[in-house]
Amino acid sequence: MVQLDPHKLPVHLAVIMDGNGRWAQQRMLKRIVGHQRGAETVKMVVEQSSLLGIKYLTLFAFSSENWSRPMLEVRALMTLLKKYIRQETARMMRKNIRYNVIGNRSDLPPDVNETLDEAIRKTAGNDGMVLTLALSYGGRQELCRAAVRMAEDAASGTLSIGAITPELFGSYLDTGGLPDPDFLIRTSGEMRISNFLLWQLAYTELYFTETNWPDFTINELHKALVDFQSRQRRFGKTSDQILQRGDLSND
């Protein structure tokens, strides 16, 4: 197992869990089997992140664009999600993890929303890791929703246009109240952001691995985190400034 410095972990880890379909197809299995195996990897990453003391874990579980997949796959994914949340809520309570959801929840089937509401309500008092599931989520859609709400508030007089700053804008996003991710992992060899957290990833360190999500192991997670620990985060400053001031602020 690779050596991790417990004092230099990301506060917020975000993951694009990609490659379930390819994992299954390479084994002549149905794509949903890949998603089922992917759900096992989710359990491992949630457990490990919480054990390591990561405060925020955000998983891209279903994108706005995933609705255009074959209906059977969409249905199977919704069923899997519901099953995962129902099964895992007791563990979330034991591990002091709080559920959170970002994305356009009005697109989700009512039974999925009910399951999510129950899990969010039950875990609301937990003050350990915050597990955010991005569901029916798209970064551009989130930015548009925020812009609409800001326009509504400006029209009703509760928001003054001169008060709009990046911080205020951020508070209108689904992720309002969450810090920006420090580290993003994407599996399966694709090197793109795919409409995930477009605003929030401005200064995030990115990590890509060829491994498909169902094959992503604890050791790979640790390897990715060790890589994160070797990065120098400059937030637009010079290397010398960072070394002199030990200053990691985002201004």
- In the structure encoding, which two tokens stand for residue 250, read together? 């985002």
39 part of the interface to ligand FPP, by CB under 6 A: yes
17 part of the interface to ligand FPP, by CB under 6 A: yes
In the chain, alpha helices (H):
20-26, 31-52, 71-94, 110-123, 139-156, 166-171, 218-229, 239-245
CA distance 183 to 204: 5
61 part of the interface to ligand FPP, by CB under 6 A: yes
**Active-site residue, from 18, 174, 180, 182:** 18
81 part of the interface to ligand FPP, by CB under 6 A: yes
35 part of the interface to ligand FPP, by CB under 6 A: yes
Residue nearest to ligand FPP as judged by C-beta position: 21
Paired sense of beta strands 205-208 and 183-186, if any: parallel
Find residue 208's DSSP bridge partners: 186
Closest to 102 (Cα-Cα) out of 9, 200, 216: 200
Q: How far apart are CB 35 and ligand FPP at their closest, in Å?
A: 5
* CB of 180 closer than 8 Å to CB of 202: yes
200 part of the interface to ligand FPP, by CB under 6 A: no
Q: Is 240 a catalytic residue?
A: no
Contact pick of 42, 108, 184, 185 for ligand FPP (by CB under 6 A): 42
* CB of 159 closer than 8 Å to CB of 126: no
Considering only 31-39, 151-159, 166-174, 203-211, which stretch makes contact with ligand FPP by CB under 6 A? 31-39
* CB of 31 closer than 8 Å to CB of 25: yes
**Active-site residue, from 5, 20, 66, 127:** 66
Site size with ligand FPP, rule: CB under 6 A: 20
* CB of 203 closer than 8 Å to CB of 250: yes
Closest to 91 (Cα-Cα) out of 60, 125, 119: 119
Contact pick of 9, 12, 18, 89 for ligand FPP (by CB under 6 A): 18
Q: Is 174 a catalytic residue?
A: no
66 part of the interface to ligand FPP, by CB under 6 A: yes
Q: Which is nearer to ligand FPP, 122 or 237 (CB)?
A: 122
Site residues, ligand FPP (CB under 6 A): 17-22, 35, 38-39, 42, 59, 61-62, 66, 80-81, 84, 133, 188, 213
